[in-house]
Amino acid sequence: EAQVTQNPRYLITVTGKKLTVTCSQNMNHEYMSWYRQDPGLGLRQIYYSMNVEVTDKGDVPEGYKVSRKEKRNFPLILESPSPNQTSLYFCASSSGTSGNYEQFFGPGTRLTVL
């Protein structure tokens, strides 16, 4: 089944403790992206990747890092999480290098930073 998976689905952590949210897709998509969703603010793009080893900042990249060492994986790294990064996170992927086709979203990761 074609899908985007994220792990973990739920995470409660404390300020400053490094964490990684994994994202993996099995559709051989070039394009991948991370969003965060907050009440009243909609979905905002954090980082995106056009292809392996090509990443770029979205609208809200501060406090996040990403890497794209292989096509299927696009982990989101929070080196020193803070409470304002408490949010619902979604990974997305799409064929084509610009995400211009149908985008497939993962199930989401609900992160709470205390």
Partner 1 sequence: DAKTTQPTSMDCAEGRAANLPCNHSTISGNEYVYWYRQIHSQGPQYIIHGLKNNETNEMASLIITEDRKSSTLILPHATLRDTAVYYCIVRVATSNTGKLIFGQGTTLQVKP
- How many residues line the site for partner 1 (CB under 8 A)? 26
The nearer residue to partner 1, 48 or 64, going by C-beta atoms, is: 48
Report the nearest approach of partner 1 to the CB of residue 93 (Å). 10
Using the contact rule CB under 8 A, the part of the chain among 13-21, 53-61, 64-72, 76-84 near partner 1 is: 53-61
Using the contact rule CB under 8 A, the part of the chain among 13-21, 54-62, 71-79 near partner 1 is: 54-62
Q: Is residue 109 within 8 Å of 89, Cβ to Cβ?
A: yes
Give the residue, chosen from 19, 43, 52, 77, that forms a contact with partner 1 under the rule CB under 8 A: 43
d(CA 6, CA 49): 16
